[in-house]
């Protein structure tokens, strides 16, 4: 029975058995086991580690969601050809900007286009409209308006001429109203940005040494929508 225990059942050769017996007698079973008994190959089990990529992906997902939310809250400029206006809101906006006699001028109406953005300038929860004349302008630019809106009716609260985009919302404010800036160039005018601020009664432009050719920091309300030619700026490029 003992022979069967160490015999071919365990695939041990007689030579190995003899060597094992001699080893046990001379140096002890433990040492022999380490030196002569073939060890069973085992694979060490490493501790399970959750890849950081999984956590990173989750974090990136949250970050993307926040980023998308932030982007959706940003100002989205809208381009409008007033001759194509059909919605009540668009018609009301165009009628506020265009005098009645010019509405009957086909050439004017074919070319008249505005690009506008909506943003709450005074923090009352109601968005104002900043509109730029992006389709009918000479080399010195077109008009720029700020309008308040209530029940699809608009009221003009600021207007100026000879403006080019970009129109930039500035981080500063005066009397509870946010400042913004526009580019002035062409038509013999020096290229510079003009800041618009509220004086407590209405918006007004800032003149003097603070005019700069460098675009001020801020959020783009209406992006650049023109190119240059030998004669000056060209709208719509």
Full pLDDT tens readout for the chain, 237 residues: 443 443 344 444 444 444 545 444 544 444 444 444 343 333 333 333 323 233 333 333 333 323 222 333 478 899 999 999 999 999 999 999 999 999 999 999 998 999 999 999 999 999 999 999 988 667 788 899 999 998 879 999 999 998 999 999 999 999 999 999 999 887 777 888 999 999 999 999 866 545 678 889 999 999 987 776 555 566 655
Query: What's the full length of the chain, in residues?
Result: 237
At residue 86, the pLDDT reads 93
- Supply 164's token pair: 């080019």
What pTM does this model have? 0.65
Q: Which of 182, 110, 100, 107 is nearest to 146 (CA)?
A: 182
Quick one: pLDDT at residue 14?
A: 47
């Amino acid at each position: 029975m003992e022979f069967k225990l160490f015999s071919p059942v365990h695939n041990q050769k007689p030579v190995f058995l003899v060597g094992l017996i001699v080893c046990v007698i001379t140096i002890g079973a433990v040492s022999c086991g380490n030196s002569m008994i073939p060890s069973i190959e085992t694979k060490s089990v490493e501790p399970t580690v959750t890849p950081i990529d999984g956590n990173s992906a989750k974090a990136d997902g949250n970050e993307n969601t926040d980023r998308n939310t932030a982007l959706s809250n940003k100002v989205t400029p809208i381009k409008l050809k007033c001759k194509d206006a059909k919605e009540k809101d668009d018609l009301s906006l165009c009628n506020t900007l265009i005098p009645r006699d010019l509405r009957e001028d086909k050439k004017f109406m074919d070319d008249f286009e505005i690009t506008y953005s909506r943003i709450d300038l005074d923090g009352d929860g109601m968005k104002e409209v900043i509109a730029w004349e992006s389709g009918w302008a000479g080399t010195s630019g077109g008009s720029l308006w700020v309008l308040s809106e209530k029940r699809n009716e608009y009221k003009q609260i600021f207007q100026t001429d000879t403006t080019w985009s970009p129109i930039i919302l500035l981080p500063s404010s005066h009397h509870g109203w946010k400042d913004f800036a526009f580019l002035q160039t062409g038509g013999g005018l020096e290229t510079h940005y003009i800041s618009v601020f509220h004086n407590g009664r209405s918006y007004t432009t800032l003149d003097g040494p603070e005019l700069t050719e460098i675009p001020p920091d801020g959020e783009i309300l209406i992006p650049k929508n023109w190119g240059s030619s030998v004669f000056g700026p060209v709208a719509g490029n």
